[in-house]
Amino acid sequence: MRRVLLIPLTLLLITSAGAVHADTKLQQPWIDRDYAANNDAFASVLVIGVPDHPDERGKLENSLVSALQKAGVRATASLDIMSADTEVTKESVLAALEGKDIEAVFLTRVFRTDDIEVVQGGDPGTMRTERDFAIQLWENYEGTRDQALNAPRKEKQRLVLENNLYDLKSEKLVWTVQSFSMDPKSADKIIKSLSKLVTEQLRKDSLI
């Protein structure tokens, strides 16, 4: 498990007065299919939320633990076995897990934020960063190509989280996915959506 890159969680509190939906979506999923084909699904998982803000970390961990437990997994929040002021590193996590019956570690971190432009009046999920994307946008825009090109735009921010699952015995990354949240009104909304989506994807990939 690599060392966690700490990024201020205030990024999770981006607010929006616009009409763009704050849906969270998963993208670029990767699974070690050889591992999945030759190992049983994980029955127990340690959940580590974004580790640089204790309050939001706790909310994320509790939400993920709840979602995983509903899926039949014995899930544990890291804050239940680690102090909030302990830096999350491979060494500190392994030390906290010593002697505990846990098979995997699920870690979420802030990966980046994207500054983008949104076409107002078209598909709420339509985005562009350059005018070169106009033709692609036009396919989702109710109007002509010229109208799509000249549609009112407003800068937004998109939060990107990285979600990694590690096999504890081998310390090997076996699954990762990025989650994108468009102008979230609150961290709570991201947390709820993320917990549901990643749990469903892990079940789909037969890892839990």
The tens-digit pLDDT sequence of the chain (208 residues) is 543 333 333 333 333 323 233 468 888 789 999 999 999 999 999 999 988 767 779 999 999 999 999 999 999 999 999 999 999 999 999 999 999 999 999 999 877 766 555 544 444 444 444 444 444 444 444 556 566 566 655 555 567 789 999 999 999 999 999 887 765 556 677 788 889 999 999 999 999 9
The total domain count for the chain is 1
- Helix, strand, coil percent content, the chain, rounded in steps of 5: 35, 30, 35
Whole-prediction pTM? 0.70
Per-residue model confidence (pLDDT) at position 145: 59
The reply to whether 84 falls in a domain is yes
The reply to whether 177 falls in a domain is yes
Per-residue model confidence (pLDDT) at position 155: 58
Q: Which two tokens stand for residue 199?
A: 């749990």
Per-residue model confidence (pLDDT) at position 41: 97
The reply to whether 127 falls in a domain is no
Nearest to 20 by CA among 185, 180, 169: 185
Per-residue model confidence (pLDDT) at position 50: 86
The reply to whether 61 falls in a domain is yes
Residues whose CB falls within 8 Å of the CB of residue 148, separated by 6 or more in sequence, listed in order:
119, 122, 134, 137, 138, 141
Q: Which domain holds residue 97?
A: 20-113+158-204
CATH of the domain at 63: 3.40.50.800
Per-residue model confidence (pLDDT) at position 78: 97
The reply to whether 120 falls in a domain is no
Per-residue model confidence (pLDDT) at position 190: 77
Per-residue model confidence (pLDDT) at position 136: 45
Question: Is the dihedral angle over the CA atoms 88, 39, 163, 177 positive or is it negative?
Answer: positive
Say if residues 18 and 183 touch (Cβ distance below 8 Å): yes
Q: Which two tokens stand for residue 98?
A: 């010593």
The reply to whether 32 falls in a domain is yes
